[in-house]
Structure 1
Amino acid sequence: MKNAVNKPYFSRITPFPRAKLPLAMAVCGLLLAGAGCERKQVETEVEQSAPAATVPAVNVAAAEAFSSEYWQAGQAQVIDAAAAAQALARAVAQLLESPTEDSLETAKLAWLDAHREMAASMPFIKVAFSPADLQQSGNELLLALDSWPAQAGYLDTVPGYSSSGIVNDTAIELTLANLRKQHRLTAHEEASTGFHALEIMLWGPTSERSAEQFVAASGGEQPEALAANRRRELTRLIAQGIDEDLAQLSARWPVTANDLSQRYLAQAPVARVQRIRSAHLDMLRNEVLPRLPESSESDVESGHAADSKQALLAMLRNLQACWLPEGGGGLADLLLDRHQTAALAKTFGELEERLLKMEDPIELAAPAELQRSRQQVDALIGLISGDTQVPARDEEMTPVSLQAPEE
């Protein structure tokens, strides 16, 4: 899995790596068009398709090699995400120590970096927490880190409500433990931890945050209760929570930790690759599709930072690198037939091309383009699951002449 993570990809949009497969192959029956291919019938000659390609039983040695390498690639990615979260916490600390427009911009860039590293980790995190008894803790971790959308008024002052949010609610003592208790307390939009809560604090409820709003205030008997100082502390604590959560995940990952890896490696190699497939399908359905708005009324992941598309690309690039690494040897070779593999490469390529042309932020893209992207993700789901059968190409058909028997 040498292409699992190609760095750097944060300063610009980078396409997910292309597999060395014939992407231009005309594949009939692909879900993208939603229709099958029709063949011309000739009176004296009919076409007999070659036998449908069958997927052989998964090679145990290949499954062992792939699944072990996949876990190591996940460890490298999670370490990168933890390092980016640590850098984000440092950038926020520097902003609070010296609130300038430059330090605010540095903190925003650190957020973008860490958010995309988190998104790139998703294909691995989904696998690590896929065992039934780990799913709840995995969901709790993802909700703590990446719950969206986040309601600005739950955290800070918003236009028309000068005393809204935790910033102004002095009844809530500002500790990380309390923020975790307040997180999604009565509604899923009430995010008080994670990337999107911090996004609101750095960009501001109306995306017009200035460094001046992070300047410490003085005066009164309890200066720590002033909104400006609570805003500073709330921002610091949210960044601290992200740092802690990803550091703990990174510590749980290595084989030597005998934690998450124990459950993964205890499975037979073939069971591991099937679990990876199931986790990737779950990610496409529950992480990728929701990030492609169905309408103007749909929730948007990173509405203030305008990072939804970049995070989506980071997620998809590691998914494709798992299934179609350059040089072969990916999950497609283990689990799909060659026609499905070619169709998968073609679909990834077309989805990549469409996403890169879209408006950024993604919610500004044309509705038709968003709908087409959703259809292509559905096509990926059908191909990766193996449910979509791809007919052979016309040139692979064997013509057979039918002659009337001699009388």
Structure 2
Amino acid sequence: MKKPVRVLFTALLPLALAACDTSEAPEPETHAEAPIETGIIVTDWQQQSLEQFEQAAAHWQQALVNLEQNKDEKNLAALRQSLADWYHRFTEQAPLLNARACQLKQQAILARMDTWPLYPGYIDSMPEWPESGLISDPYLELNRKNLRIQHGATDSAEASLGFAAMLVVLNGTSETAKPLAFFQEEAQQAPRRLTYLKLAGEQILADYRTFATEVSLVSSDLDCALSAMLERRQQLISSTDNDSELVIPNTIRKTLSDIQLNALQNLPESVVSAWEDVQPGIMEAITSSKNKGWKPIEEWQGRTSE
């Protein structure tokens, strides 16, 4: 009779051990999953920005045609105003353009659209060097490909493209604008100067379209955009006055900071609200900037980047 008992005990032993193992096994740890950020829809903002930029570009192109057909002071003044207006459109779109550049990792293309400070003598002749500049080089065929190759060839300040370079070619670098004679037939480089302005404008428009996508943004794209804008602003503040070698065109020096701040203050409500959901405090910082300037935004950005 003992044998069946031993068999029964042997059979029950694994079950007892399994029960002990089950009772002593720790419960698996559970971690709360981070909420998945939904994309920030910017379709309307993107479309409106594209239309405004292309409209400003069309005004510039027509003003350039007018000057080519009739080289007088009125048309030259209109061309200068159209370039200033176009640059204003570009600058007020800094939040969106920088966010797209961060998202698409195309900061180099955005930088090419507005490279400064720059060497003015690299692109056009200067009073001190009347035969300097790519425009004066008879061996350089002026086309967009060559201008892209020459842009930043050996130094980042060697700008052959972008708004700053166009402003130098059209206006010069002094408080007194470049005379009309630089664009009239009597001037040796007048045809190449006008050709350059046409090509450089076309390249800006082509570069802009790199960023014309309707893909949603995320808050980190806006964080990156703000950091880039603040860095650029600090570069402007820290820059010295223009000299004969390295300049920031007056149009940029006098307007960029105010236009970009206004652009942040007028972001679409849906964009700011979505940004606030992930980065609390940005909405208050932008609101406070209407009375206190850049300081609240700079302070907020400093806290979030710590």
Using the size of structure 2 for normalisation, the TM-score is 0.75
The answer to whether the aligner puts 1:95 opposite 2:28 as a matched pair is: no
Q: Are the counterparts in 1 of residues 118 and 159 from structure 2 also a CA contact under 8 Å? A: yes
Within 2, Cα distance between the matches of 1:245 and 1:301?
21
- Which structure has the higher relative contact order (CA within 8 Å, separation 6+)? 1
Q: Which has the larger displacement, 88-97 or 105-114?
A: 88-97
Q: Deviations over 1:110-158 (max 9, x none)?
A: 1111111111222112222324xx31xx223213211112222112221
Q: Are the counterparts in 2 of residues 120 and 314 from structure 1 also a CA contact under 8 Å? A: yes
Q: Are the counterparts in 2 of residues 215 and 228 from structure 1 also a CA contact under 8 Å? A: yes
Q: Are the counterparts in 2 of residues 155 and 165 from structure 1 also a CA contact under 8 Å? A: yes
Structure 2: give runs of 5+ residues left out of the alignment.
1-33
Cα shift at 1:201: 1.3
- Counterpart mapping for 1:8-407 below 5 A: 67-68=40-41, 70-131=42-103, 134-135=104-105, 138-206=106-174, 207-217=176-186, 226-246=188-208, 248-249=209-210, 252-253=212-213, 255=214, 261=215, 264=216, 272-293=217-238, 296=241, 301-303=248-250, 306-322=251-267, 325=269, 329=273, 331-332=275-276, 335-336=279-280, 341-342=283-284, 344-351=286-293, 378-382=298-302, 385=304
Cα shift at 1:244: 3.1
**Residues 294 and 187 of structure 1: CA distance in aligned 2, closer, same or farther (over 3 Å):** closer
**Residues 129 and 276 of structure 1: CA distance in aligned 2, closer, same or farther (over 3 Å):** same
**Residues 274 and 243 of structure 1: CA distance in aligned 2, closer, same or farther (over 3 Å):** closer
Cα shift at 1:318: 2.5
The letter of the residue matching 2:151 is: H
Q: Secondary structure at 1:129's aligned position in 2?
A: helix
Q: Secondary structure at 1:292's aligned position in 2?
A: helix
Q: Secondary structure at 1:85's aligned position in 2?
A: helix
Within 2, Cα distance between the matches of 1:234 and 1:344?
40
Q: Secondary structure at 2:226's aligned position in 1?
A: helix
Within 1, Cα distance between the matches of 2:191 and 2:287?
52
Q: Determine the structure 2 residue equivalent to 1:360.
A: none
The letter of the residue matching 1:316 is: L
> Which protein is richer in helix relative to its size?
2
Q: Are the counterparts in 2 of residues 196 and 302 from structure 1 also a CA contact under 8 Å? A: yes
**Residues 274 and 288 of structure 1: CA distance in aligned 2, closer, same or farther (over 3 Å):** same
Q: Secondary structure at 1:160's aligned position in 2?
A: coil
The letter of the residue matching 2:204 is: I
The letter of the residue matching 1:110 is: S
The letter of the residue matching 1:78 is: L
Within 2, Cα distance between the matches of 1:80 and 1:285?
24
Cα shift at 1:380: 4.1
Q: Determine the structure 2 residue equivalent to 1:21.
A: none
Within 1, Cα distance between the matches of 2:68 and 2:179?
12
Q: Deviations over 1:274-330 (max 9, x none)?
A: 323322332233333223235558976433xx343423222222323338x49x846
Q: Secondary structure at 2:136's aligned position in 1?
A: coil
Using the size of structure 1 for normalisation, the TM-score is 0.58
**Residues 78 and 121 of structure 1: CA distance in aligned 2, closer, same or farther (over 3 Å):** farther
Cα shift at 1:234: 2.0
Structure 1: give runs of 5+ residues left out of the alignment.
1-56, 219-225, 256-260, 265-271, 352-372, 388-407
Structure whose alpha-carbon radius of gyration is higher: 2
Q: Are the counterparts in 2 of residues 78 and 249 from structure 1 also a CA contact under 8 Å? A: no
Q: What number of residue pairs does the alignment pair up?
A: 269
Within 1, Cα distance between the matches of 2:147 and 2:240?
32
Q: Are the counterparts in 2 of residues 89 and 243 from structure 1 also a CA contact under 8 Å? A: no
**Residues 78 and 316 of structure 1: CA distance in aligned 2, closer, same or farther (over 3 Å):** farther
Within 1, Cα distance between the matches of 2:262 and 2:55?
20
C-alpha RMSD of matched pairs (Å): 3.1
Cα shift at 1:82: 2.4
Q: Secondary structure at 1:130's aligned position in 2?
A: helix
Q: Are the counterparts in 2 of residues 147 and 191 from structure 1 also a CA contact under 8 Å? A: yes
**Residues 228 and 210 of structure 1: CA distance in aligned 2, closer, same or farther (over 3 Å):** same
Within 1, Cα distance between the matches of 2:242 and 2:67?
34
Cα shift at 1:249: 3.4
**Residues 235 and 281 of structure 1: CA distance in aligned 2, closer, same or farther (over 3 Å):** closer
Cα shift at 1:164: 0.9
Q: Are the counterparts in 1 of residues 134 and 140 from structure 2 also a CA contact under 8 Å? A: yes
